[in-house]
Amino acid sequence: MLETLGGVPILALLEDGEPREIVPVPPDAEPDVGSLYAGRVTRVVPGMRAAFVDIGASKNAFLPFDADEAPHQGDAVLVQAAKQPGGEKGLRVTRRVTLPGRLAVLRPGGACGVSAKIRDAQERARLLGALQSLCPPGVGALARTAAQGAGQDALAQDLGALLADWAAVQAAWRQSQAPRCLRRAPHPAQRLLQDVLGPQLIRVVTDSSAWHARLAADLADWGPANPPALALYRGETPLSDLYPIRRALQDALRRKVWLPCGGYLVFDICEALTVVDVNTGKHTGAADTALAVNLQAALAVARQLRLRDIGGIVVVDFIDMDAPESRQMLLDAFTQALAEDRAAVQFFGEISPFGLAQLTRRRLFTGLMDALTLPCPACRGAGHVPSPQATAREIWLQLARRAASGEDTRWRVCAPSPVLQALLQAGVPPAWQVLARAQGPHRGEGFAIAPLGDEGDTGETGDIPLPSREEYDA
């Protein structure tokens, strides 16, 4: 489903009527994974084995390299966007170019191979031989899962188009001045349609006539044996409400996710990893409470990782269980749930006695949190703000610092009411004259200190004098 109304186009993949992947489509100006650039190296950091490359974006890209292929400052390099920026990290690029098609992925300078998801030995050998016969010297290709059962002619057609694209990129690279975008990655809608195209895809719907025509042309070019039905939606109800997408999107942006049994999950996204905590919550079952909650959590965690498109290291803290057979049941359920993910997931195949499961997942698009949220301006993304007492103490210390520097000890303090209550309880030395005024709700460190006017300034309406405390003089 592709909904284009509302300023932020939303792409969704539904399975059995439920959203499994939701992709907010970024503006065209933003670099996307798969785009190719003529870049210019601006800085090399040998200790990190990395360089920073100007690709014409707002922030320089990050290029890791091996010791034997270190670039030099000022070099022009052909790079491909490999990982979206997230948090404080910028776009990651690579010099190992790949061009994905429907049946194969072209790998200039690489070797031929077959997707690990194709397990039949004879089919793997057939596809590998076909690719090796079709690829020119110095160019490799990887057979995708969709290539299973595909004939030589279909593979040749797919690879021919990819080789033509690569020739166009090389020509543009030879004629370009860095920084410059040489080839934009396909639109996320085209990428998703290409990736899931097959017998299981039964319907594609969009509310845009322009996208309806564009996707129809793509389907005609790709020529699948059983193309899905392509529908142009003209109803008044938004597609996000017609399908349960808006509700799923709201749940995916929350920190806490409730389970049907009454338990819940808590998602905490750190700089280097994501932690998921499983809790019994309202569940009050029998002796197998932990197992019942854990089994539902295993399914929910796998689906939320996919729905939120979380990448990197993930640690899941399941509820502790002593029985080995219970831990094995949980392990089997979690492994099966993760297998439904299209992304590359590496699960380490064990759950520790403490209930910890570790895995890594490679993001397919831009994660929902990065695409649709910003750090809170009050807490700067920490999730907490200083308490009224802590803010009052900071005000008190600033006043003491000013008094120690010889400043006139007559001030007006504007701060939220809870902070003023803490200041009233603390009081001030008798030598100070401090008038306090309530200002706005408490959102952290927001306050203002200003000197009073002339000696006759005894305050305005709403000013409250802070009481003096003799013990401060003592």
pTM > 0.85: yes or no: no
Q: Report the pLDDT value the prediction gives residue 332, as an integer from 0 to 100.
A: 94
pLDDT tens for residues 363-376?
Answer: 888 888 888 888 88
DSSP-derived secondary structure letter, 117: T
Under CATH, which architecture does the 255-372 domain have?
A: 3-Layer(aba) Sandwich (3.40)
Which residue type sits at 341? D
SS3 138: coil
- Residue 30: band (very low, low, confident or very high) from pLDDT cuts 50, 70, 90: low
185 — phi, psi (to 5°)?
Answer: -65, 155
For the chain, the average pLDDT equals 88
Q: Report the pLDDT value the prediction gives residue 111, as an integer from 0 to 100.
A: 93
Q: Report the pLDDT value the prediction gives residue 461, as an integer from 0 to 100.
A: 64
64-68, 110-114, 310-314, 327-331: segment of lowest average pLDDT? 64-68
Q: Report the pLDDT value the prediction gives residue 329, as an integer from 0 to 100.
A: 93
Averaged over 323-351, what is the pLDDT? Answer: 91
More confident residue, 94 or 470: 94
- Residue 467: band (very low, low, confident or very high) from pLDDT cuts 50, 70, 90: confident
The number of CA neighbours under 13 Å toward the Cβ of 45 is: 9
Q: Tell me: pLDDT of 450 over 70.
A: yes
* E strands present in 35-75: 36-45, 50-54, 61-64
* CATH no. of 97-183: 3.30.230
Which residue type sits at 133? S
pLDDT tens for residues 266-300?
Answer: 999 887 899 999 998 887 666 578 889 999 999 99
Which CATH fold would you assign to the domain 36-94? OB fold (Dihydrolipoamide Acetyltransferase, E2P) (2.40.50)
Q: What is the DSSP string of 266-332?
A: EEEE-SSEEEEEEE-TT---STTHHHHHHHHHHHHHHHHHHHHT--EEEEEEPPP---HHHHHHHHH
Q: For residues 173 and 181, give the distance between their C-alpha atoms in angstroms, rounded to a whole number.
A: 9
Q: Tell me: pLDDT of 334 over 80.
A: yes
Helix runs in 137-187, H state only: 152-175
pLDDT tens for residues 66-113?
Answer: 888 899 999 999 999 988 776 566 789 999 999 999 899 999 999 999
Q: Report the pLDDT value the prediction gives residue 290, as an integer from 0 to 100.
A: 86
- Residue 459: band (very low, low, confident or very high) from pLDDT cuts 50, 70, 90: low
Q: Tell me: pLDDT of 194 over 90.
A: no
Q: Tell me: pLDDT of 127 over 90.
A: yes
Assigned token pair, 206? 């969009």
Q: Tell me: pLDDT of 473 over 80.
A: no
Q: Report the pLDDT value the prediction gives residue 88, as an integer from 0 to 100.
A: 63
Nearest one of 274, 260, 276, 257 to 355, comparing CA atoms: 276
Averaged over 367-388, what is the pLDDT? Answer: 83
Assigned token pair, 397? 């210390």
pLDDT tens for residues 129-149?
Answer: 999 999 999 999 999 988 988
Averaged over 58-62, what is the pLDDT? Answer: 88
Which residue type sits at 92? R
Q: Report the pLDDT value the prediction gives residue 197, as an integer from 0 to 100.
A: 82
Q: Report the pLDDT value the prediction gives residue 440, as an integer from 0 to 100.
A: 77
Q: Tell me: pLDDT of 454 over 70.
A: no
Domain boundaries, the chain: 36-94, 97-183, 255-372, 388-473
What percentage of the chain carries pLDDT values higher than 70? 94
Q: For residues 187 and 279, give the distance between their C-alpha atoms in angstroms, rounded to a whole number.
A: 39
Averaged over 216-233, what is the pLDDT? Answer: 86
Q: Report the pLDDT value the prediction gives residue 102, as an integer from 0 to 100.
A: 87
Q: Tell me: pLDDT of 347 over 90.
A: yes
